[in-house]
Amino acid sequence: MIKPRDIDLLVQADVLYPMMSNEEIILNAEVAIINDQIVYAGPKLNNKSWNAKEIILGDGKAVMPGFVNCHSHAASLVFRSQSDDGAGGKALYSVAFRAEATITTEQWRDFARVGVLDMIKAGFTTINDIWYEPETLAEICVEAGLRAQIAYKVFDVCLEDLYLNHYNHSSKTADMRLKRGVDFVKKWGGAGNGLITGRIGPHATDTCSSELHQNAYIEAKKLKVGRHTHAAQSAGEVAYIRSKYGVGPVVYLQELGVLDQDLVLAHLTYADQADLKAAASEGVKYAHCSTIYPRRGVYPDIIEITKKGIQWGLATDWMMNDPFEAMRNALNAIRLKQGKHTAYTSTEALFGSTTNSAKVLGLEGSIGKVQEGFKADLIQIDINQPHLVPFYAEYASIAYYARASDVVTSIINGKIVMKDRVVIGIDETKALEAVAKHIPTLSDKMLKLGGAVHPGLCPCGF
Ligand SMILES: [Zn+2]
């Protein structure tokens, strides 16, 4: 008789989406985990196969790899409803950028905690974040158990002056910020049993001088980490780069010698053919934030991006942390743009937000699939819901019908981080209260900057 194999965790499922290249979906399945690794994923074996320390049953559940968010700002939720309408540029520059300058470390910490909570509850198991206070985000990710690539937002202009079209690059600010970015990578890279990876984050093509872009490249190479930058995000950015350098923003980065396969570019919304050609020829990775683009009334040329062979994955950008919303917005927008219902399929959307996003982050060998030898990063979805039945176990069943609130279990690096929708490492009540506490000060700030605050809404009577 064969002795049962000792494992740490057995996760069962009525339906398993391993996200392998053969697109197979397995019914009545199970996933066996030892430490942080998947040691088996496939049809249920004989019940004497495993000696598991813990079992998560799979009745009425689908299991798939956790979603990978290849461009996020966990703490940016502070601007929810403040820069959505009119976000084509005005509110971003006049409200958000000016408000950011006055937000304290403690406030960013409180926002980041709720952002991380929101991401885990929505089904993300990995994020790629660039923002202020990366140290506090890393701390929270370690506490909560979320896998994260994190960069400090490095720039050398006064973001709060950009709404006046004032670009004053300061080399002192550049050195100071780049140093903090480098120190962050040195201190936090590998923390949390490998959950945290550092990146260097030159914020955007126009908010860093040429010298800063090049120095960021040099430092990232020394540290052997990737970089993360916003490119061709707004018409203003493109106009500034064109007026100064006579080329589009991606060609500009190519001429600086800083494009390579370790760089993740977010947006490419206003990228032209020459920009896309430059990105493709240097093997740059691309984060496609499908929820924010329709909201701003513009959409990147994703068909051309795909045709040129640029590796891209789905992302959320800021304020919205919902991978299901990201998939459906991409499905709707790409089909409308193409005028074809086959332009982007539900299967592509699910691969786009798991395995392809993992490729964007250089993690294709370890996450994004439920496969033997991969890291145990997976989620369980409750499929016994009025909006999901009858569940025919297709890719379409998840891509069109599942909701973030259906994610009931999250396992990251082999550890259960959410059970029955309770995120174990974060006290949800306290986290929400901490954010509510900041409403009076923030409302005042947003109002002064032309935000959309309704004074009567604050529970404190503000
Ligand atoms: Zn962004």
The reply to whether 451 falls in a domain is: no
| Token representation of residue 360 | 């964007």
* Angle 243-92-87 from CA coordinates, rounded to 5°: 100
Return d(Cα 435, Cα 114) in angstroms, integer: 8
CB 136 within 8 A of CB 105: yes
Model confidence at 85: pLDDT above 80: no
pLDDT at position 27 over 50: yes
User: Helix, strand or coil for residue 9?
Assistant: strand
Give 317 Cα–ligand 1 centroid separation in angstroms.
Answer: 5
Centre of ligand 1 to C-alpha 383, Å, is 32
Within 13 Å and on the Cβ side, how many CA atoms surround 339?
A: 0
Q: Are residues 207 and 328 in the same domain?
A: yes
206 and 58 both lie in a single domain:
no
Residues 214 and 204 in one domain: yes
Query: Ligand 1 centre from 199 Cα, in Å?
Result: 15
CA of 380 to the centre of ligand 1 (A): 28
* Same domain? 11 vs 45: yes
Q: Which residues surround ligand 1, an ion (CB under 5 A)?
A: 317
Q: What is the phi/psi pair of residue 165, to 5°?
A: 65, 30
Could you tell me if residue 453 is inside a domain? no
Buried b (16+ CB within 10 A) or exposed e, 124-143: bbbbbbbbbbbbbbbbbbbe
- Strands of the sheet with 67-73, listed across from one edge: 311-314, 285-288, 263-267, 227-231, 196-202, 147-154, 124-131, 67-73, 317-318
Residue 438 lies in a domain: no
Tell me how far the alpha carbon of residue 230 lies from the centroid of ligand 1, in angstroms: 6
91 C-alpha vs ligand 1 centroid, how far in Å? Answer: 14
265 Cα–ligand 1 center, Å: 10
Within a domain: residue 428?
no
Residue 110 Cα to ligand 1 midpoint, Å, equals 19
Residue 434 lies in a domain: no
- Ligand 1 center–CA 227 separation, angstroms: 14
Ligand 1 center from residue 393 Cα (angstroms) = 34
Same-domain status, 222 and 264: yes
Tell me how far the alpha carbon of residue 336 lies from the centroid of ligand 1, in angstroms.
24
Distance CA 367, CA 244 (A): 41
pLDDT, the chain, mean: 94
Q: How many residues does the chain have?
A: 462
Identify whether residues 311 and 234 lie together within a single domain: yes
What is the chain's Cα-based Rg? 22
Provide the domain count of the chain. 2
Considering only 50-59, 78-87, 304-313, which range has the smallest mean pLDDT?
78-87
What is the Å distance from ligand 1's center to 417 Cα?
A: 26
49 part of a folded domain: yes
Ligand 1: centre distance to CA 358 (Å): 18
C-alpha of residue 11 to centroid of ligand 1, in Å:
34
Per the CB < 8 A criterion, the answer to whether 388 and 324 are in contact is no
Count of alpha carbons within 13 angstroms of residue 374, beta-carbon side: 26
pLDDT score for 88: 53
Distance 172 CA to ligand 1 centre (A): 24
Residue 191's pLDDT is what?
98
Q: What is residue 52's predicted lDDT score, i.e. its pLDDT?
A: 97
At 316, list the tokens: 């959320």
What is the spatial distance between Cα 208 and Cα 241, in angstroms, rounded to a whole number?
11
For residue 87, pLDDT over 60 is answered with no
* pLDDT tens profile 338-369: 999 999 999 999 999 999 999 999 999 999 99
Q: 280 with 393, same domain? A: no
Residue 459 pLDDT > 50: no
> Is pLDDT larger for residue 312 or for residue 295?
312
Give the domain-ending residue among 360, 384, 406.
360
Please check whether residues 289 and 418 belong to one and the same domain: no
Last residue of a domain, one of 339, 360, 381: 360
- CATH number of the domain residue 178 falls in: 3.20.20.140
Indicate whether 9 and 86 sit together in one domain.
no
Kindly give the residue spans of alpha helices, DSSP state H, lying in 87-157: 90-91, 97-100, 105-122, 134-144
How far apart CA 365 and CA 377 sit, in angstroms, is 13
pLDDT, position 440: 86
Q: How far is the CA of 343 from the centre of ligand 1 (A)?
A: 26
Report how far ligand 1's centroid is from the alpha carbon of 164 (Å): 21
Q: Are residues 288 and 354 in the same domain?
A: yes
pLDDT at residue 457 greater than cutoff 60: no
List phi, psi (to 5°) of 324. Answer: -70, -40
Question: Both 282 and 153 in a single domain?
Answer: yes
For residue 462, the model assigns a pLDDT of: 41
Q: Quick: pLDDT tens for 377-415.
A: 999 999 999 999 999 999 999 999 999 999 999 999 999
What are the pLDDT digits (tens) for 188-218?
Answer: 999 999 999 999 999 999 999 999 999 999 9
Which residue, of 360, 392, 413, is where some domain finishes? Answer: 360
SS3 (DSSP) at 263: strand
The beta-strand segments (E) located in 248-310 are: 263-267, 285-288
Of 35, 46, 44, 48, whose CA–CA distance to 11 is shortest?
44
407 Cα: distance to centroid of ligand 1 (angstroms): 25
Whether residue 436 lies inside any domain: the answer is no
Q: Give the CATH number for residue 52.
A: 2.30.40.10
What's the gap in Å between 251 CA and the centre of ligand 1? 20
The string of pLDDT tens digits covering residues 151-174 is 999 999 998 888 888 889 999 999
Of all residues in the chain, what percent carry a pLDDT higher than 70? 96
pLDDT at 24 exceeding the cut of 50: yes
Whether 461 has a pLDDT exceeding 50, the answer reads no
How many helices (DSSP H) and strands (DSSP E) are in the chain? 18, 18
Higher pLDDT, 84 or 304: 304
Q: How far is the CA of 459 from the centre of ligand 1 (A)?
A: 30
Domain range for 134 is 67-360
**d(CA 266, ligand 1 centre) in Å:** 7
pLDDT above 70 for 458: no
Measured in Å, residue 228 CA sits from the centre of ligand 1 at: 10
Residue 98 has pLDDT above 90, yes or no: no
Do residues 46 and 193 share a domain? no
Q: What is the C-alpha separation between 427 and 416, in angstroms, rounded?
A: 15
**Position 85 in a domain:** yes
